[in-house]
Amino acid sequence: MAKKRAATPSAPSTVKELQDLLWKAADKLRGSMDAAQYKDVVLGLVFLKYVSDAFDERRIALAAELEAEGLDEDQVAQLIDDTDEYTGHGVFWVPESARWGYLAQNAKGLAPSGGVLGKPVGQLIDEAMDALMRGNDSLNGTLPTIYNKDNVDQKRLGELIDLLNGARFHGDGATKARDLLGEVYEYFLERFARAEGKRGGEFYTPKSVVRVLVEVLEPSSGRVYDPCCGSGGMFVQTEKFLEAHDRDRTAISVYGQEFNERTWKMAKMNLAIHGLAANLGSRWQDTFARDIHPDLSGANGADVVMANPPFNIKDWVRNEDDARWRYGVPPATNANYAWIQHILSKLAPDGRAGVVMANGSMSSNSGGEGKIRAQLVEADLVSCMVALPTQLFRSTGIPVCVWFFAKDKAPGRQGAVDRSGEVLFIDARELGYLVDRAERWLSDDDIARIADTYHAWRGTRSATERGIAYEDVPGFCKSASLADIKTADYALTPGRYVGAAEVEDDGEPIEEKIARLTKELEAQFDESARLAAVVREQLGRVS
């Protein structure tokens, strides 16, 4: 009698169902380990699943190619393990002991101390990570080997592997494993950032904030750089922008740097999942202490820089003689203007940049920051200032803004309208909506409004094709001259320039409206006095 096969877990029908399912499963691991390690455990497994899926997909395709060439089974077997046939197609080489099928087969239903040849599940995974790093130089030192530790529940780890194995990532061929796993990875990054609170802000920038930078700057080709790249969100959203606009995603070269070891590893995995080849250096490094991309400058500089530097760093590696401080030496107690000047030093002659900063950077005069800001304005490097709404960052209550820079505002590749000697101010503080008491999101329409305003002001190709023309909107946007900014003592807060929003005219003359409202207010006062007398009378009867 044939053995009855175990039922295969039903496949989630949507990306959200898949995300929720995996999050609930991963949540089982939480308990004895801290949030940071818990994050590394789960994201490492997601990455391992991705590389194995991609490897299997390529292996099937390669076998079909060899058979189509007339090779017999033995000949196919000899050539199927040619490493170059995988790496040459952007696929990591996955040794047999690191393949998901091997892990799933040996992890399913294991007791806490059980395993193949007496090995715990965690040891199998650690060995798989080591084998994967040995087989791919670009992954050397990147993957976590933390699964065989005392604080990792081996039984639940086996259950998580089993669940990942049951999930259907390929979507009947309509959706690639890379795309689905990329969505899952980003979802997990966001959830972990929320769970970790303030520390979560070290590796994750809210997606809507990243999209403001990407949609305004429209990176479509050339070198894209982030000097504090976190988990690589700026690069991932750039890739999505290219895909959404049917652009060649290989037209960009990605350069990044990250100071935190764990975050640098997350970025490497995140970019690999999204199929992005990136130069993040051979290890994590402090951007101020050691710039790992010294040749990224001048004519060979970055075409686009996008960054969300840590706000208001008080302890940073500072050298007063640093050549990057072209517009003034930043104060030792705050690195905001050090980040800005580092980024400007990286821009190509027609490069542009978007930098998320704390609101204080727009008007601070402490430590010589006001003088540096004045120099930046007079050099005509600031193209646009955007004040964002509060609560976009769950990790901090500090209000934020975005500085946009352009090395060249003359008519040309960046736009048809000459904006030399002008700065666009956008006050977007009233945009967005609360998703809960602690966090606000910008909607697609909000992001489009900010981006369209900038593109219309600059006369970019995307605005011209849609017939969008710029005009000042009281309370929202204003194009100001450098003379206007100088008059305001070089403060760059949009609220100083955009003015108040126009009040809709309801047709009632202002004198009549004042008289009517005064009469209504007096009636309310009289009613309030009457009710107060009634309450006093009732209290008197009680006493």
Alpha-carbon distance of 238 to 252, in angstroms, equals 9
| Lowest-confidence pick of 8-12, 154-158, 494-498 | 8-12
Alpha-carbon distance of 69 to 80, in angstroms, equals 13
Q: Is residue 287 within 8 Å of 214, Cβ to Cβ?
A: no
Residue 485: closest CA among 338, 343, 379: 379
Alpha-carbon distance of 28 to 40, in angstroms, equals 14
Residue 310: closest CA among 255, 369, 263: 263
Alpha-carbon distance of 482 to 502, in angstroms, equals 25
Alpha-carbon distance of 530 to 38, in angstroms, equals 64
Choice between 404 and 186, residue whose per-residue pLDDT is larger: 404
Q: Which residues contact 50 (CB under 8 A, 6 or more apart)?
A: 177, 178, 181, 185, 272, 273
pLDDT at 394 over 60: yes
| CATH 3.40.50.150, the chain: domain bounds | 203-260+286-498
Q: Is 400 helix (H, G, I), strand (E, B) or coil?
A: strand
Burial of 374 (0-12, 13-18, 19+ CB in 10 A): middle
**Crossing angle of helices 261-273 and 233-244, rounded to 10°:** 20
Give the other-Cβ count within 10 Å of 513's Cβ: 11
Tokens representing residue 55 in the block: 């490897």
Question: Could you read off the pLDDT of 51-96 as tens digits, one per residue?
Answer: 888 888 889 989 999 999 999 888 888 899 999 999 888 889 999 9
Which amino acid is residue 155, in one-letter code? K
Q: Is 437 helix (H, G, I), strand (E, B) or coil?
A: coil
The distance from CA 288 to its chain's CA centroid, rounded to whole angstroms, is 22
- Provide the pLDDT for residue 200: 52
Domain range 15-187, CATH architecture: Up-down Bundle (1.20)
Q: Using alpha carbons only, what angle is made at residue 71 by residues 68 and 75, rounded to the nearest 5 degrees?
A: 140
For tokens 């002991």, what's the residue?
A: 97
What's the length of the chain? 543
Which residues face 477 on adjacent strands? Answer: 426, 473
H helix or E strand, kind and range, residue 195 = helix 177-196
Which amino acid is residue 385, in one-letter code? M
Alpha-carbon distance of 432 to 430, in angstroms, equals 7
Exposure of 272 in the CB half-sphere (CA atoms within 13 A): 28
The secondary structure of 469-492, three-state, reads CCCCECCCEEEEEHHHHHHCCCCC
Q: Is 439 helix (H, G, I), strand (E, B) or coil?
A: strand
* Per-residue confidence band for 187, with pLDDT thresholds at 50, 70 and 90: confident
Question: Could you read off the pLDDT of 268-293 as tens digits, one per residue?
Answer: 888 887 878 889 998 999 999 999 99
Q: Is residue 209 within 8 Å of 390, Cβ to Cβ?
A: no
pLDDT at 171 over 50: no
Tokens representing residue 315 in the block: 């302890």
Question: Could you read off the pLDDT of 320-375 as tens digits, one per residue?
Answer: 999 999 999 999 999 999 999 999 999 999 999 999 999 999 999 999 999 999 99
Choice between 434 and 179, residue whose per-residue pLDDT is larger: 434
Q: Is residue 307 within 8 Å of 226, Cβ to Cβ?
A: yes
Q: Is 119 helix (H, G, I), strand (E, B) or coil?
A: coil
For tokens 């001259």, what's the residue?
A: 481
User: What does 53-112 look like in DSSP terms, one character per residue?
Assistant: HHHHHHHHHHHHHHHHTT--HHHHHHHTT-THHHHTTT-----GGGSHHHHHHHHTT--T
- Provide the pLDDT for residue 205: 85
User: What does 244-276 look like in DSSP terms, one character per residue?
Assistant: HTT--GGGEEEEE--S-HHHHHHHHHHHHHTT-
DSSP 8-state code for residue 359: G
What average pLDDT does the structure give for the chain? 86
Choice between 181 and 285, residue whose per-residue pLDDT is larger: 285
Alpha-carbon distance of 51 to 272, in angstroms, equals 9
Burial of 349 (0-12, 13-18, 19+ CB in 10 A): exposed
> CA Rg, the chain, in Å?
29
Residue 38 φ then ψ, to 5°? -55, -40
Which residues face 279 on adjacent strands? Answer: 255
Q: Is residue 326 within 8 Å of 302, Cβ to Cβ?
A: no
Residue 178: closest CA among 242, 62, 272, 254: 272
Q: Which residues contact 231 (CB under 8 A, 6 or more apart)?
A: 189, 203, 204, 263, 266, 267, 270
- Provide the pLDDT for residue 2: 39
DSSP 8-state code for residue 31: S
Choice between 253 and 535, residue whose per-residue pLDDT is larger: 253
Question: Could you read off the pLDDT of 214-269 as tens digits, one per residue?
Answer: 999 999 999 999 999 988 989 999 988 998 888 888 889 999 999 989 889 888 88
Average pLDDT over residues 109-123: 63
The distance from CA 202 to its chain's CA centroid, rounded to whole angstroms, is 11
| CATH 1.20.1260.30, the chain: domain bounds | 15-187
- Provide the pLDDT for residue 167: 63
Fold adopted by 203-260+286-498: Rossmann fold (3.40.50)
